[in-house]
A and B are shown apart, each in its own frame.
Chain A
Amino acid sequence: MTAITVTQHVRYQTKVAHRRATSEPAWIRWTLIASALAFLTLFLFVPLAAVFTEALRKGWDTYLSALIDPDALSAIWLTLIAAAIALPLNLVFGVAAAWAIAKFEFRGKSVLITLIDLPFAVSPVVAGLIYVLIFGLQGWFGEWLIDNDMKVIFAIPGIVLATVFVTFPFVARELIPLMQAQGKDEEEAALVLGASGWQILWRVTLPNIKWGLLYGMILTNARAMGEFGAVSVVSGHIRGMTNTMPLHVEILYNEYQYAAAFAVASLLALLALVTLALKTFVEWQSAKNAAEFEKEANG
């Protein structure tokens, strides 16, 4: 190697050292960042701001009166009930399914995983229609339900069913990869130490998945309160009876009560913001836990 090529080589190496290997020139970076920001502003921040501006356009009094309107209160109440029933059901189901899938080998495991994902794949409207076809007046169990004086479609049970269906995968999907990564060593250790199934679940499994579980529940709750399509099909839109918050917003909007519609919508938007904050906190916590787990696995 001649002296000149050596100097060139050294210069090249210094240049490389100054610039990280993967970074692009400044103008590309700024263009990409600007377009991402513009996109976010247009599709996220502006609509969010619009919800609150529109809701408060006619002042606090209108805003509050829209929220304490009996129909609005009943919609909020129904939404809370649906979420309050769907959440624990999905909690139990999600933990049970994830436990079975992650810690045991059995026939039909892949079928079970596919079934859990089904609500993600099926359109919510179709999901709602399925329940109408099964429990509706002309449905399979329609006559039997009428004879026994029970109502599922156009009533609260239908709404709960539809909500449970669309929120089905969240907890399980969150827990399966986590539990698979943790393996079953700790459970086996507990078992040879003489712990019973319940003791293992409460003392070993649940403490290890608590952050993932919480994260799944937050997502489930957000989806349960915000679900529109499936609930819309089975609800029947009876004011003060079978309207949830998203449905109530639609009705108000269709009746040109914009301020009231946006007022109720702002509650949902607030819920989204709280969910986001909680989610960030939980993600931060579980990342901290995962880092510790990593350290343990490598150390």
Chain B
Amino acid sequence: MSIEINNISKQFGKFHALQNINFNVPSGELVALLGPSGCGKTTLLRIIAGLESADDGRIAFHGDDTTDKNVRERQVGFVFQHYALFRHMTVFENVAFGLRVRPKATRPSEAEIRRRVRELLGLVQLDWLADRYPPQLSGGQRQRIALARALAVEPKVLLLDEPFGALDAKVRKDLRRWLRRLHDELHITSVFVTHDQEEALEVADRIVVMNHGKVEQIGSPQQVYDQPASPFVYQFLGNVNEFESRVNKGRASINEVTVDSVEHQSVDDAAALAYIRPHDIEVLKEPNGAPSFSATVNYIHSLGPLVRLELQRQDDERIIEAELTRERFLQLQLIEGSQVYLQPKQVRVFLKH
């Protein structure tokens, strides 16, 4: 069941929460809405669910306009950031809730409800918790119960609001891989909201990057990471170094270092910003002839398999971050205060407006 989002706008007072949002979620895909807090991603998710109404625009499920449909009729599954389990009901009753509140004509029999709930608890691997109450569960367990509860009503689409936001790092990682596998099993069209780029890159089929109520870029994790459409996307997906630069006929220069910038072939001498990711910087102890920045090592941070260097350029004393593998770092035998030469391996250039 695909989701079509057409021209959605929403305002809270004078604040434009969403401005002309347009995109489609193809059937069976797992899509991430990624952006900093306050960018409108949760509002958009709530509008898709029907918990919030848009000022303008339409939402359709598989071509079926649902804009004026009540939340109850939309048949969506919604997983809340803080789980929102019914705290006075057992886990079993929580999962059974969506079936029990159906009108008599469509409500399954008690035996059928029991069978379905058992099946779902088995799916989330928590059947042994059926008689517990939510306060007795861990965060990860609660989130899986919340997911089972949402799936119980056989929703057409599954919407998840920061599903792992309240969990600690280890559980988060386990749970998102588990969610990915579950999605591959069930193939239910899903949209999840996150501010964590790593989470989006790892789990999603496609990522919708949002900022200030607008869509910045839509694409596969590979695309948004390797070909960011705007400086914002580039900066939001991982660490970057920013350089003042000038572009002239397909060449971008940062001081005396000049690199190719093929997408700006037709530009005549314009101001631009150049971005280099920390792992796209080659660190050398001796100059090798090619143009480079000379810099000194200020600090060395060891991050397990990686080593992050904080470097100071000698020309304008700006700080640059570079990341090396541990192996390369040991090879170079760097200490704080070492003199090094930096060569960008890959640069993204955006013209200044």
Binding partners A and B: yes
Please list the residues of chain A having a beta carbon within 8 angstroms of any beta carbon in chain B: 185-186, 188-196, 199, 203-204, 207-208, 292-293, 295-297, 299
**Do the beta carbons of A192 and B71 come within 8 Å of each other?**
yes
26 of the cross-chain contacts (CB-CB < 8 Å) are A185-B80, A186-B87, A188-B84, A189-B78, A189-B84, A189-B85, A189-B146, A191-B72, A192-B50, A192-B51, A192-B71, A192-B78, A193-B98, A193-B101, A193-B149, A194-B72, A195-B101, A196-B101, A208-B88, A292-B135, A293-B87, A295-B135, A297-B82, A299-B135, A299-B137, A299-B139
CA distance A204 to B84 in the complex (A): 11
Known: A192-B77, A196-B101, A199-B101. A186 touches B135 (CB 8 A): no
CA distance A292 to B82 in the complex (A): 15
Which residues of chain B have C-beta atoms less than 8 A from A204's C-beta?
86
Main secondary structure of the interface of A (DSSP, over half): helix
Which residues of chain B have C-beta atoms less than 8 A from A292's C-beta?
87, 135
CB distance from A102 to the nearest CB of B (A): 16
Given A199-B101, A203-B97, A296-B135, 18 further pairs, Cβ under 8 A = A186-B85, A189-B84, A190-B97, A190-B101, A191-B71, A192-B150, A193-B149, A193-B152, A193-B153, A194-B102, A195-B72, A195-B101, A196-B101, A203-B86, A293-B87, A296-B134, A297-B82, A299-B135
CB distance from A155 to the nearest CB of B (A): 44
Which residues of chain A have C-beta atoms less than 8 A from B85's C-beta?
186, 189
Which residues of chain A have C-beta atoms less than 8 A from B137's C-beta?
299
B193 at interface by CB-CB < 8 Å: no
B76 at interface by CB-CB < 8 Å: yes
B276 at interface by CB-CB < 8 Å: no
B138 at interface by CB-CB < 8 Å: yes
Which of B118-147 touch A at CB < 8 Å?
A: 134-135, 137-139, 142, 146
CA distance A194 to B154 in the complex (A): 11
Known: A186-B84, A293-B87, A296-B135. A191 touches B97 (CB 8 A): no
Known: A194-B102, A196-B72. A185 touches B82 (CB 8 A): yes
CA distance A185 to B85 in the complex (A): 9
Which residues of chain B have C-beta atoms less than 8 A from A190's C-beta?
86, 97, 101
**Do the beta carbons of A194 and B101 come within 8 Å of each other?**
yes
**Do the beta carbons of A189 and B80 come within 8 Å of each other?**
yes
Which residues of chain B have C-beta atoms less than 8 A from A186's C-beta?
84-87
CA distance A185 to B49 in the complex (A): 14
Residue of A nearest to B73 (CB): A194
CA distance A296 to B98 in the complex (A): 22
CB distance from A105 to the nearest CB of B (A): 10
Which residues of chain B have C-beta atoms less than 8 A from A188's C-beta?
51, 78, 80, 84
Which residues of chain B have C-beta atoms less than 8 A from A293's C-beta?
87, 135
Which of B47-63 touch A at CB < 8 Å?
A: 49-51
Which residues of chain A have C-beta atoms less than 8 A from B149's C-beta?
189, 193
CA distance A233 to B73 in the complex (A): 54
Residue of A nearest to B78 (CB): A192
Most-contacted residue by chain A among B87, B97, B102 (CB, 10 A): B87
Residue of B nearest to A192 (CB): B78
CB distance from B49 to the nearest CB of A (A): 6
CA distance A203 to B99 in the complex (A): 13
Residue of B nearest to A299 (CB): B139
B29-70 CB mask vs A (1 if < 8 Å, else 0) is 000000000000000000001110000000000000000000
Which residues of chain B have C-beta atoms less than 8 A from A185's C-beta?
80, 82, 84
CA distance A247 to B41 in the complex (A): 62
Pick the contact of B86: A189, A192, A295, A297 (CB < 8 A).
A189
CA distance A199 to B105 in the complex (A): 16
Which residues of chain A have C-beta atoms less than 8 A from B84's C-beta?
185-186, 188-189
**Do the beta carbons of A195 and B80 come within 8 Å of each other?**
no
CB distance from A200 to the nearest CB of B (A): 9
Residue of A nearest to B74 (CB): A192
Which residues of chain A have C-beta atoms less than 8 A from B88's C-beta?
207-208
Which residues of chain A have C-beta atoms less than 8 A from B72's C-beta?
191-192, 194-196
Which of B96-118 touch A at CB < 8 Å?
A: 97-98, 101-102
Which residues of chain B have C-beta atoms less than 8 A from A203's C-beta?
86, 97, 101
Residue of A nearest to B76 (CB): A192
Which residues of chain B have C-beta atoms less than 8 A from A191's C-beta?
51, 71-72
**Do the beta carbons of B87 and A194 come within 8 Å of each other?**
no
CA distance A193 to B80 in the complex (A): 12
**Do the beta carbons of B49 and A192 come within 8 Å of each other?**
yes
Which residues of chain A have C-beta atoms less than 8 A from B97's C-beta?
190, 193, 195, 203
Which of B144-198 touch A at CB < 8 Å?
A: 146, 149-150, 152-153
CA distance A297 to B137 in the complex (A): 11
Known: A193-B98, A196-B101. A208 touches B80 (CB 8 A): no
Which residues of chain A have C-beta atoms less than 8 A from B98's C-beta?
193-194
CA distance A207 to B49 in the complex (A): 26
